[in-house]
């Protein structure tokens, strides 16, 4: 089985000790920092914005995978670049001019991702797929960490991987929400190659070991 990219979500870290969280991730086998931005409009929760991302960036030695759960994400592309984003992912459901937004992200020197909610069909990505570096499939309803994984995600991953084989073989398929050591191997077998994990990593007794276990299952 191929080794997945592991992107622990800072959302589940202790916000009073983000420097500690960054140092732990630097020393771990994590590949990326997953950074969840929520605006209280697109999702029913507010997390944090650019100043917090900049503060974490000072201590981080790995790429920032920034997941925007906000309306009108096109308004903030440059701000997130300046805050330290390396990969910028917007939601299909929040972006009526998705093609333009994706090009803008790339023009700013970032990798471009599109995320879809659990009810959104992967078929809606067909025409934008060749332009994308990454698709983030939500395996819970976005807004909160610690929710239960939705099993239909496996079908979505298989369908999307088949589409990507045809249209964009280098596509990264990232799964976000309720990922743990039980579903991770099946997700990778279904065609996912990046896994986000929040609670499973940060609420474990030994986050570094938990990351290593997810990576080397």
**Position among 33, 67, 104, 210 found at the interface with Zn ion (CB under 5 A):** 67
Residues 37, 181, 61: CA angle, nearest 5 degrees: 45
User: Can residue 199 be called a binding residue for ligand DX5 (CB under 6 A)?
Assistant: yes
Q: Is 36 a catalytic residue?
A: yes
Residues between 72 and 101 with contacts to ligand DX5, criterion CB under 6 A = none
199 binds, among Zn ion, ligand DX5, none (CB under 5 to 8 A by kind): ligand DX5
Determine the size of the site formed for Zn ion (CB under 5 A).
3
Range in contact with ligand DX5 (rule: CB under 6 A) among 7-15, 49-57, 87-95, 205-213: 7-15
Q: Is 127 a catalytic residue?
A: no
User: Can residue 36 be called a binding residue for ligand DX5 (CB under 6 A)?
Assistant: yes
Strand partners, 173: 135
Token pair for 173:
């398929």
126 in helix, strand or coil? coil
Residues between 74 and 103 with contacts to Zn ion, criterion CB under 5 A = none
- From the list 30, 1, 34, the residue with the least C-alpha distance to 217 is 1
- Which is closer to ligand DX5, CB of 167 or CB of 215? 215
- Which is closer to Zn ion, CB of 28 or CB of 115? 115
Determine the size of the site formed for ligand DX5 (CB under 6 A).
22
- Which is closer to ligand DX5, CB of 67 or CB of 156? 67
User: Can residue 140 be called a binding residue for ligand DX5 (CB under 6 A)?
Assistant: yes
| 59 in a labelled binding site | no
Radius of gyration of the chain (CA): 16
* Distance, CA of 131 to CA of 180 (rounded, Å): 30
Position closest to ligand DX5 via CB: 198
- Buried b vs exposed e over 153-180: b needs ≥16 C-beta within 10 Å? bbebbebbbebbeebbeebbbbbbbbbe
* Distance, CA of 137 to CA of 173 (rounded, Å): 7
Ranges of beta strands (E only) in 80-180 are: 87-91, 111-116, 134-138, 172-176
**What is the smallest separation between the CB atom of 165 and Zn ion, expressed in angstroms?**
25
């Amino acid at each position: 089985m191929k080794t997945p990219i592991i992107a622990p979500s800072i959302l589940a870290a202790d916000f009073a000790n983000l420097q500690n969280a960054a140092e732990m991730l630097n020393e771990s086998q994590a590949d990326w920092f997953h950074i969840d931005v929520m605006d209280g409009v697109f999702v029913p929760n507010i997390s944090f914005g650019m100043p917090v991302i900049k503060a974490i960036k000072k201590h981080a030695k790995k790429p920032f995978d920034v997941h925007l759960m906000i309306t009108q994400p096109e308004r903030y592309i440059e701000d997130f670049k300046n805050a330290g984003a390396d990969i910028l992912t917007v939601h299909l459901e929040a972006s009526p001019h998705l093609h333009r937004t994706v090009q803008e992200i790339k023009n700013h020197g970032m990798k471009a991702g599109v995320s879809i909610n659990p009810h959104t069909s992967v078929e809606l990505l067909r025409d934008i797929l060749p332009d994308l570096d990454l698709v983030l499939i939500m395996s819970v309803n976005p807004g909160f960490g610690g929710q239960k994984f939705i099993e239909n995600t496996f079908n979505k991953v298989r369908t999307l991987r088949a589409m990507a084989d045809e249209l964009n073989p280098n596509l990264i398929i990232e799964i976000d929400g309720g990922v743990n050591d039980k579903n991770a191997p099946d997700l990778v077998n279904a065609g996912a190659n990046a896994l986000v994990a929040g609670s499973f990593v940060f609420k474990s007794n030994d986050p570094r070991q938990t990351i290593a276990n997810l990576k080397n299952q």
